[in-house]
Amino acid sequence: MTAKTEIQTPSGSNAVSGAVFPVLLSISFCHLLNDVIQSLLPAIYPIIKSTYHLDFGQIGLITLANQLTASLLQPVVGHAMDRKPAPYSLVWGMVSMFCGLVMLAFAPRYGFVLTSAGLIGIGSAIFHPESSRIARMASGGQHGLAQSLFQVGGNFGQSLGPLMAAFIVLPGGQHSVAWFTLVAFTGAIILYQIGGWYKVRLVGRGHAKDHHAAPRSGLSGAKIRLSIAVLLALMFSKFFYLASIGSYYTFYLIDKFHLPVQKAQYCLFVFLASVAAGTIIGGPVGDRLGRKLVIWCSILGVLPFSLLLPHASLFWTIVLSVPIGIVLASAFPAIIVYAQELLPGRVGLVSGLFFGFAFGMGGIGAAVLGELADKTSINFVYQVCAFLPAIGLLTALLPNLEKRRSIK
């Protein structure tokens, strides 16, 4: 993180005339640390499956315990922090993750693994709504860019998880997960400093509203509710599909192409790195060309690639995973900022709802797809999931907020 004085001085020129990049980069780095821990869990599923003699349904339940905990708590945390911000709450999220990692490293049986997954989920539930608010607060009005920078940290963290599992956990065994408590500890230290900047910023603004909030959309309540429902449906298609890759891609590659676990982890890294690239592209493009256009191109645009994937060779599977990751991920910053513009002044609630829904869909998707894989095959799961991006056609129901504001 850059100099402490830069972060703790909200009255500086950066804070007034543009994005506060030291804060944005710091919160993005903390998102990386948070998601390294999150992605570590599915990355070591092959070890857990072998150690505890689990089937795919039980693997899916681990993801469900982790992501449902996060999804159910995130809107609650976001709404509570809209009413009464708590600048240092992010530190406690890292403490929860620290405890979850210790339990995961030394879990004597399956029930402790589920509990550790829940503790890690609680940490994410606390982290995402408040850190998304901090990113918007430090955006200088460039909301898409700020969300992309914030989210790309998490995407890189997700992509690093499988590599760290391959180089640290696979050779060292499950107990080596304890080394990742250093990641949680580092995050807690940085978030404590960011909490100081956040606290000063709140006091300087009289604990009031976002100076860079979007103007009200002028839409009726019914239209806003319909738009939120459409955005959630798009999130369903995105994260249900991502669950098929995040939780089962390594198993798919091992089953279909007989790859060793370590090489399958490298392939997962390629996909997750592509997701990170798509995230950083989506926000700035949405600022420039409009968020609805980005959502259109992202959700529906991935359909040709997803339909080809189940029928591809190993080489083309890896190649296709790159545009799938880039195109699909570009929607998330645009969806978050679009929703924040629908409901200005409710940044915490919106962020908590959408990040929480993302976690929930990932968890439910992992559990459902795990059961489906047990009853059929991993290859069949990918054939079914290939059609999910077609839900992107619902984007036609979204109003063009940029056009409405230009008319006004």
Alpha carbon distance 55, 403 (integer Å): 51
Q: Is residue 7 part of a domain?
A: no
Tracing tokens 């995040």 back to the chain, one arrives at: 246
Q: Is residue 10 part of a domain?
A: no
Structure token digits, residue 261: 């676990």
Tens of pLDDT along 194-203?
Answer: 988 988 887 6
Alpha helices in 84-211 (DSSP H): 89-105, 110-137, 143-164, 170-172, 181-204
Q: Is residue 48 part of a domain?
A: yes
Query: What average pLDDT does range 176-205 have in this prediction?
Result: 88
Higher pLDDT, 81 or 406: 81
Structure token digits, residue 390: 């077609």
Range of the domain at 319: 16-407
Q: Is residue 8 part of a domain?
A: no
309 phi and psi, to 5 degrees?
A: -55, -50
CATH number at residue 136: 1.20.1250.20
Q: Tell me: pLDDT of 347 over 80.
A: no
- Burial string for 177-210 (b: 16+ CB within 10 Å, else e) reads beebbebbeebbebbeebbebbbbbeeeeeeeeb
Quote the mean pLDDT of the chain: 82
Supply the pLDDT for residue 203: 66
Q: Is residue 229 part of a domain?
A: yes
Number of domains making up the chain: 1
Q: Is residue 154 part of a domain?
A: yes
Q: Is residue 5 part of a domain?
A: no
Q: Is residue 270 part of a domain?
A: yes
With cut-offs at 50, 70 and 90, classify the pLDDT of residue 317.
very high
